[in-house]
């Protein structure tokens, strides 16, 4: 992939039609955070009340899916699409999402914004980190892809991904000064309170069963499927409209694989300032443009469409 292999795009969308889509609604975002945590806590409660192997497996699926959903909301906050006050935007997102997932918004942002700036080039950290990696080498047979997905369910690949992510998201820019104690305090306080509460309340077993296991299995499994869907498989990376994929997901796929409109990934790359709840409207607006409607890489479904395209 060359330095500038993605062809530019000229769209004729009226600014007055586009501008409202950039407006943020913090209440919608906050409600989505509460919704995801409610499902996680509800799943834990129901599973403990009616515990059996099937109920536990279902809980791990649902909890991992909602962890992934929280990560999608974090992604919006990375682009400052949650709160106008950037300090509170980051702090609330860290406490409700990133600290529970063992990282921070700051670590993710410095990686992700370079991905947007240098999409699918040697300066794109996401693209470079996946080149030559077996999981992202396509085409694959349906069986090969499903085997990789299954390897997440036995925690094997999830542990590998967790180590890989932690290494990638370390702040390595020497220009950034070391964090002060005051800057480190929120994260330190979060883990101190969490681990103290787990110890006092005797909750370590439940934390392992209902957080650590979903984290190393289904959370990273859904992350992997989404990552593949966004930029890999049967795609042409020489044009902005074919360098990323929008997937028209079913209702079940939206719950497990594509929460909060994340399947509109092509639209997000064109206009990263549009919050997740406005992406369907953005898609409808773009479909009125002949160049977009004729060339955009739009896939019908994850199971039917994506699986077919990954096979070459």
pLDDT recorded at residue 86: 95
Assign 113 a pLDDT band (cuts: 50, 70, 90). confident
**Candidate from 24-33, 130-139, 172-181, 214-223 with smallest mean pLDDT:** 172-181
pLDDT recorded at residue 7: 47
Q: Is 271 a member of any domain?
A: no
Burial grade of 11 (CB within 10 A; 0-12, 13-18, 19 or more): middle
Q: Is 130 a member of any domain?
A: yes
pLDDT recorded at residue 279: 97
DSSP string, 111-128: HHHHHHHTTTSTT-HHHH
Q: Is 262 a member of any domain?
A: no
The region, left, alpha or beta by phi > 0 then psi within -120 to 50, assigned to residue 19 is alpha
Q: Is 162 a member of any domain?
A: yes
pLDDT recorded at residue 5: 40
Q: Is 30 a member of any domain?
A: yes
Element (H, E) at 248: strand 246-248
Assign 215 a pLDDT band (cuts: 50, 70, 90). very high
Q: Is 107 a member of any domain?
A: yes
CA-based nearest residue to 247, from 196, 191, 308: 308
73-85 confidence digits (pLDDT tens)? 999 999 999 999 9
Average pLDDT over residues 20-39: 98
pLDDT recorded at residue 2: 36
- Report the C-alpha gap between 35 and 235 in whole angstroms: 34
Q: Is the pLDDT of residue 62 over 90?
A: yes
Number of domain units in the chain: 1
Q: Is 283 a member of any domain?
A: no
Q: Is the pLDDT of residue 260 over 70?
A: yes
Q: Is 297 a member of any domain?
A: no
pLDDT recorded at residue 9: 63
Domain extent at residue 183: 22-171+178-228
Assign 6 a pLDDT band (cuts: 50, 70, 90). very low
């Amino acid at each position: 992939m060359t330095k500038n292999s993605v062809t530019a795009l000229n769209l004729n969308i009226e600014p007055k039609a586009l501008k409202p889509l950039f407006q943020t609604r913090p209440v919608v975002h906050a409600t989505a955070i509460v919704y995801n945590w409610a499902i996680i806590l509800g799943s834990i409660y129901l599973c403990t009340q009616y515990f059996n192997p099937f109920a536990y497996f279902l809980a791990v699926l649902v909890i991992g899916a909602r962890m992934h959903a929280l990560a999608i909301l974090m992604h919006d906050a990375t682009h400052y699409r949650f709160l106008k006050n950037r300090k509170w935007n980051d702090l609330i997102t860290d406490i409700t999402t990133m600290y529970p997932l063992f990282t921070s918004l700051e670590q993710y942002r410095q990686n992700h914004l370079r991905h947007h700036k240098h999409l699918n080039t040697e300066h794109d950290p996401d693209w470079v980190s996946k080149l030559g990696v077996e999981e992202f080498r396509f085409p694959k047979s349906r069986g090969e892809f499903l085997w990789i997905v299954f390897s997440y369910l036995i925690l094997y690949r999830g542990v590998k991904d967790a180590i890989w992510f932690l290494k990638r998201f370390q702040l390595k820019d020497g220009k950034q000064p070391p964090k002060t104690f005051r800057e480190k305090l929120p994260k330190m306080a979060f883990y101190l309170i969490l681990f103290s509460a787990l110890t006092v309340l005797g909750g370590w077993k439940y934390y392992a069963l209902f957080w650590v296991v979903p984290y190393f299995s289904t959370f990273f499994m859904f992350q992997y499927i989404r990552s593949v869907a966004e930029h890999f498989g049967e795609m042409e990376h020489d044009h902005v409209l074919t360098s990323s994929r929008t997937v028209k997901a079913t209702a079940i796929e939206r719950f497990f694989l594509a929460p909060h409109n994340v399947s509109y990934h092509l639209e997000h790359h064109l206009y990263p300032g549009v919050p997740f709840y406005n992406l369907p409207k953005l898609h409808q607006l773009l479909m009125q443009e002949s160049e977009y409607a004729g060339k955009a890489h739009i896939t019908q479904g994850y199971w039917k469409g994506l699986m077919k395209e990954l096979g070459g």
